[in-house]
């Protein structure tokens, strides 16, 4: 949690220095992210929104790869087909699209398990197929209003997919408060879809871990989908393009700063007898790691122009090859008579 906090702060500075196009801070939301991220097993798949830096880190995605996307160097930043990236799928900035990716993926997990058991029928409403792996999807309070997010709940309930929906209710969708999105607590909406659901204190990592484990276990053992509303607060701005002082209520920030999940966990650890030296070392190592990430981000290589063709299809495709050849001809048209190159890529 502290490591992510330090990295987040570094990235905000990098954006202010013109080194990142945008940054999306997760400050204040580390409690639910660490608990839920740790609750997942290696074989589970996680579909994030765009603020799940700590979950990414837990799954093995390097902070530097997270920042590469916000530096405009990649369309994603990590290879989702590489198991070293912890089955952590790409950040999704189109609100709610990841809920459909996740439900589709969970449906695939279910079908694979059924096929392995020589059962090829997929009956809506049927439960009981153990899959041994599950899917977890993260989204925000505002995203619960998207059609995609609601359609995903319908399909998850119908097919009893092995998945857990996680809504980080950080109280705001940019400048729109959650009270305007929903007249009822968000977790109660899931009950209307027939999905087991619970509201947790999202600034309590241990609660997030316990409930996350339980819901993922149920999903993996054929007991269908679950929904966790984690009550938390976005202490930072929505992004570096946002100024929350324009819409926050007086005293709101201070109220939540007192409930900062890092402060709360530290207070708890102190009651167990953990001493100053431990906390000092945690903050120092977090700073060292954030500085390492900062240097690495500044030294990230720019992509070559033809890398844009690399992942369009999984296999070679004639139209893509045609476009790649066109780009090569175009680029070489900038070569001068003396063999030197001119143009934007020098």
Ligand X SMILES: Cc1ncc(C[n+]2csc(CCOP(=O)(O)OP(=O)(O)O)c2C)c(N)n1
Q: For 130, which DSSP code?
A: -
Candidates 142, 162, 225, 236: give the one binding ligand X (CB under 6 A).
142
Q: How far is the CB of 131 from ligand X (least distance, A)?
A: 28
One-letter-per-residue 3-state SS of 48-66: CCCCCHHHHHHCCCCHHHH
What is the C-alpha separation between 150 and 159, in angstroms, rounded? 15
Q: How far is the CB of 65 from ligand X (least distance, A)?
A: 20
Q: Which of 229, 178, 173 is nearest to 201 (CA)?
A: 229
Identify which range of 67-75, 135-143, 183-191, 217-225 contacts ligand X by CB under 6 A.
Answer: 135-143
Identify which range of 165-173, 188-196, 274-282, 312-320 contacts ligand X by CB under 6 A.
Answer: 165-173
Position 174 contacts ligand X (CB under 6 A): yes
Position 94 contacts ligand X (CB under 6 A): yes
Q: How far is the CB of 155 from Mg ion (least distance, A)?
A: 23
Q: Is the dihedral of CA 172, 174, 180, 183 positive or negative?
A: negative
| Other beta carbons less than 10 A from residue 286's beta carbon | 19
Contacts of 266 (CB under 8 A, 6+ apart): 279
Burial (CB count <10 Å: 0-12, 13-18, 19+), residue 80: middle
Position 238 contacts ligand X (CB under 6 A): yes
Position 137 contacts ligand X (CB under 6 A): no
Q: How far is the CB of 311 from ligand X (least distance, A)?
A: 22
For residue 40 the two structure tokens come to 């997942």
Q: How far is the CB of 193 from ligand X (least distance, A)?
A: 18
- Taking the least distance from each CB to Mg ion, the nearer of 77 and 140 is 140
What is the C-alpha separation between 95 and 271, in angstroms, rounded? 40
Q: Which of 200, 220, 106 is nearest to 153 (CA)?
A: 106
Q: Residue 224 binds which entry of ligand X, Mg ion, none, with Cβ cut-offs from 5 to 8 Å by kind? A: none
Candidates 170, 203, 232, 240: give the one binding Mg ion (CB under 5 A).
170
Q: For 88, which DSSP code?
A: B
The footprint of ligand X on this chain (CB under 6 A) covers a number of residues equal to 15
What is the C-alpha separation between 189 and 52, in angstroms, rounded? 23
- Tell me the per-residue interface mask from 114 to 153 with Mg ion, x by CB under 5 A, - otherwise: --------------------------xx------------
What is the C-alpha separation between 187 and 62, in angstroms, rounded? 32
What is the C-alpha separation between 192 and 208, in angstroms, rounded? 23
Position 21 contacts ligand X (CB under 6 A): no
Position 173 contacts ligand X (CB under 6 A): yes
Q: Residue 71 binds which entry of ligand X, Mg ion, none, with Cβ cut-offs from 5 to 8 Å by kind? A: none
Position 236 contacts Mg ion (CB under 5 A): no
Candidates 143, 161, 163, 197: give the one binding ligand X (CB under 6 A).
143
Candidates 51, 53, 196, 294: give the one binding ligand X (CB under 6 A).
51
Position 12 contacts Mg ion (CB under 5 A): no
* Closest CB to Mg ion: residue number: 140
Position 102 contacts ligand X (CB under 6 A): no
What is the C-alpha separation between 302 and 71, in angstroms, rounded? 10
For residue 55 the two structure tokens come to 């979950």
For residue 89 the two structure tokens come to 């799928």
Number of H helices and number of E strands within the chain? Answer: 13, 7
The footprint of Mg ion on this chain (CB under 5 A) covers a number of residues equal to 4
Residues in contact with ligand X by the rule CB under 6 A:
51, 93-95, 139-143, 170, 172-174, 234, 238
Residues that bind Mg ion (CB under 5 A): 140-141, 170, 173
């Amino acid at each position: 949690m502290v490591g992510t906090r330090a990295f987040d702060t570094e990235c905000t500075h990098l954006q202010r220095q013109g080194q990142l196009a945008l940054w999306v801070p997760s400050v204040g939301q580390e409690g639910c992210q660490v608990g839920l991220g740790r609750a997942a097993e290696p074989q589970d798949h996680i579909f994030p929104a765009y603020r799940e830096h700590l979950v990414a880190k837990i799954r093995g995605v390097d902070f530097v790869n997270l920042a590469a996307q916000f530096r405009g160097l990649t369309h994603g930043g990590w290879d989702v087909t590489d198991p070293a990236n912890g089955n952590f799928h790409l950040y999704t900035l189109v609100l709610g699209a990841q809920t459909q990716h996740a439900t589709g993926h969970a449906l695939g997990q279910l079908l694979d398990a059924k096929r392995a058991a020589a059962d090829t029928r997929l009956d809506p409403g049927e439960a009981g197929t153990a899959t041994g792996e599950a899917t977890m999807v993260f989204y925000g309070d505002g995203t619960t209003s998207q059609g995609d997010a609601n359609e995903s709940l319908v399909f998850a309930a119908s097919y009893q997919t092995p998945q857990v929906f996680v809504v980080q209710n950080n109280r705001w969708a940019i400048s729109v408060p959650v009270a305007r999105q929903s007249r009822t607590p968000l977790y109660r909406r899931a009950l209307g879809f027939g999905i087991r659901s619970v509201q947790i204190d999202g600034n309590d990592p241990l609660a997030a871990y316990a409930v996350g484990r339980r819901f993922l276990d149920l999903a993996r053992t054929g007991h269908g989908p679950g929904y966790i509303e984690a009550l938390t607060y976005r202490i930072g701005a929505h992004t570096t393009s946002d100024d929350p002082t324009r819409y926050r209520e007086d005293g709101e920030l201070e109220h939540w700063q007192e409930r900062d999940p890092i402060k709360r966990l530290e207070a708890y650890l102190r009651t167990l007898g953990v001493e100053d030296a431990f906390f000092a070392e945690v903050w120092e190592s977090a700073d060292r790691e954030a500085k390492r990430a900062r240097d690495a981000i500044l030294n990230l290589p720019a992509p070559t122009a033809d890398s844009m063709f690399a992942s369009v299809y999984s296999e070679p495709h004639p139209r893509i090859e045609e476009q790649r050849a066109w780009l090569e001809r175009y680029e070489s048209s900038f070569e001068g008579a003396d063999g030197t190159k001119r143009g934007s890529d020098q």
